[in-house]
Chains A and B, each alone.
Chain A
Amino acid sequence: MTASTIPAPTGGADRLVVKPPKAKEQRGWVRPVKYLLLLFFLCVVLMPAYVLIITSFKGPGDATPDRAWLLPREWVFDGWTQAWQQLAPALGRTFSMVIPASLISAFVGSMNGFVLSRWRFPGADLVFTLILFGMFIPYQAVMIPLVELMQGLGVPSGVPSLIVLHVVFGLPITTLIFRNYYAGVPQDLIEAARVDGAGMLRTFASVILPISAPAFVVVLIWQFTSAWNDYLFALFFSNSRNGPVTIALNFLASGQLQNYSASMAGALIASLPTLVVYIVLGRWFVGGLMAGSVKG
């Protein structure tokens, strides 16, 4: 996933998990054909993963093209050691960039979402639409002045710059997800707090925040993966000595020597954190995907 993907509305979040429609008995030949197709596509989708894994364990003895698709004759870890040595520092930097960036943009997004859906002011829809535009723009359209602005502000290249950028350009999407989530909160809850004399901030802190956990999980996963997988900002705002893992991986993989076992091991190492998040929190992840594109 990239920073530019848009998620869809939380309204649909659980539909996937909802039971499928009551099926009329499918005709005799439909079922086997369905499963055959499903399995065929399963193999197609898994094929690149198979290649990544087997190639990462191959040594020089397996380098000939005729062994390209075969399991390694001998399982060696040289590729993995080399990839780990080259990527480890960048992995640490990526964590220290992605975690604060996701937390800050999620928190600000939740305040925005609350204001835009439940504590509105005149022109709120226009403001929301104008904010939303920021998530669709190609960042190339602001890149040159952005480079100079960041230099002008004195934000150091590498992790600090990338935190600022992922927070700022993450605001539209986090605002969108929270706004859609809060739109489903009954107005009565907020009115009740208002009648009790609670102001906006107290309503937010005591009524809204406590029920926001599901949206926070979705937003944090979303921001974590898109910042982790970002390459464009990393290319303009860091280098191979202070940059995140995408930069380090591309550096490793595009070397002159074309060491495929090290690059493939590197690709697996660089993808592991987002894959773990995806497998452990898969249900939420799908919720995140559903959380915003289609209205209603």
Chain B
Amino acid sequence: MHHRLKRFGPPLLLISPTIVLVGVFVYGLIAVNVNTSLTDRHTRAPAEGYVGLENYQALFSDDTFLFSLRNLLLYTAAFLAGALFFGFLWAWLLERGARGEGIFRTIYLFPMAVSFIASGVVWRWLLNNAQGDRASGLNRLLGSLGLDFLQTSWWTHERWGILAIAMPAVWQLSGYIMALFLAGFRGVPDELREAARMDGASEWRMYRHVVFPQLSPVALSAIIIIGHMSLKVFDLIMAIAGQSNYTTQVPATQMWIEFTRSDYALSAAIGTVMLLIVAVLIVPYLVATYRQERSR
């Protein structure tokens, strides 16, 4: 006993501040938040009593909230598809090496160093919904290229407005996905490629059957990274459309609106719904990682 204490006491002591902080700020507060979401605390004042799942029932029978969930799903699908497509394509174009590779890499990646608030400033201009003679931004560019028929109302579109918000997100994160895939491509041993060539495989078949399969772990992490970012989308919408624009509502903007109205119970319920959505993606990943670590 004394021996174990001497051996494991110091590391436990060293990490205990983090255990306490994460325990309180993550797990403790999640518990308090869930608790608040089950009460009638619709003001700043303390709750008067529990109301069971009433707040959740209210949310799921509210058309605006259902619309915001649908928006979140559409946005995530578009963001994932776009970032994975461009990230993969750019990495593939660069993986054999190219003149000025460093420049391409740096420029493809630079949008990532910028905040969503700053990029929102320019994308709000680019996604201006004026058309025809009054058009500016992308609509003006499309007009001058003779592509007037492609002009749209972007994020103000009643049904598909949220997809316009995915454009700047794809612009910002594709470079990151490129970096992940490029590292993946370069991690494939030369011998594997050589062996395929010796067997007489064409370049395309070599990629298709030898290189691409090696990239599936990278693709999985790319999905986890983009997916969990996407499900929390907030900054971009605040910067481009603002909190009260209907066509771009998502749970995070609604959570903020309820907070500013001091409806703490409802706001807490939205936060919990967001946590559950992210958990569906993250918990299996964490469990798999944990198993992998243990078996090492």
Pair A120/B11 contact, Cβ less than 8 Å: yes
Q: Please choose the segment from B62-70, B73-81, B90-98, B152-160 that sits at the chain A interface, where 4 or more of its residues have CB less than 8 A away.
A: B90-98
Pair B36/A18 contact, Cβ less than 8 Å: no
Task: Report the nearest A residue to B270, measured CB to CB.
Answer: A140
Minimal beta-carbon separation of B273 from chain A (angstroms): 9
* Separation of A235 and B242 alpha carbons in the complex (Å): 13
Pair B15/A250 contact, Cβ less than 8 Å: no
Pair A143/B197 contact, Cβ less than 8 Å: no
Pair A125/B218 contact, Cβ less than 8 Å: no
Pair B29/A279 contact, Cβ less than 8 Å: no
- Max chain B Cβ within 10 angstroms of own Cβ: one of A21, A146, A229, A277: A21
A38 at interface, CB cutoff 8 A: yes
B195 at interface, CB cutoff 8 A: no
Pair A121/B11 contact, Cβ less than 8 Å: yes
Pair A133/B117 contact, Cβ less than 8 Å: no
Pair B188/A21 contact, Cβ less than 8 Å: yes
A155 at interface, CB cutoff 8 A: no
- Max chain A Cβ within 10 angstroms of own Cβ: one of B15, B203, B234: B15
Pair A5/B33 contact, Cβ less than 8 Å: no
Pair A250/B225 contact, Cβ less than 8 Å: no
Pair B10/A201 contact, Cβ less than 8 Å: yes
Contact of A231 among B33, B115, B122 (CB under 8 A): B115
Please tell me the number of chain A residues within 8 Å of chain B, measured between CB atoms.
Answer: 112
A144 at interface, CB cutoff 8 A: yes
Pair B97/A19 contact, Cβ less than 8 Å: yes
- The prevalent SS among residues of A at the interface is helix
Known: A127-B15, A133-B286, A142-B26. A55 touches B107 (CB 8 A): no
Set of chain B residues within 8 Å of A189, measured between Cβ atoms: none
Known: A145-B29, A246-B115. A140 touches B286 (CB 8 A): no
- Max chain A Cβ within 10 angstroms of own Cβ: one of B175, B235, B251: B235
- Max chain A Cβ within 10 angstroms of own Cβ: one of B22, B93, B104, B182: B22
Chain B interfacial positions (CB closer than 8 Å to A): 7-8, 10-12, 14-15, 17-19, 21-22, 25-27, 29-30, 32-33, 36, 86, 89-90, 93-99, 101, 104-126, 130, 133-137, 140-141, 144, 168, 171, 175-176, 179-180, 182-184, 186-188, 190, 193, 197, 203, 217-218, 220-221, 224-225, 228-229, 231-232, 234-235, 238-239, 242, 251-252, 255-256, 259, 264, 267-268, 270-272, 274-275, 278, 282, 286, 289-290, 292-294
Besides the known contacts A140-B232, A149-B29, A172-B22, 18 further A-B residue pairs in the complex with CB atoms under 8 A apart: A8-B183, A16-B105, A24-B203, A34-B98, A42-B108, A65-B134, A108-B18, A115-B11, A125-B290, A126-B290, A132-B286, A134-B22, A134-B25, A142-B271, A144-B267, A253-B120, A277-B113, A295-B289
Chain A interfacial positions (CB closer than 8 Å to B): 1-2, 4-6, 8, 12, 15-16, 18-24, 26-27, 34-35, 37-38, 41-42, 45-49, 51-52, 55, 65-66, 68-69, 108, 111-112, 114-116, 119-122, 124-134, 136-146, 149, 168-169, 171-172, 175, 199-201, 225, 228-232, 235-236, 246, 249-250, 253-254, 260, 263-264, 266-268, 270-271, 274-275, 277-279, 282, 285-286, 289-290, 293-296
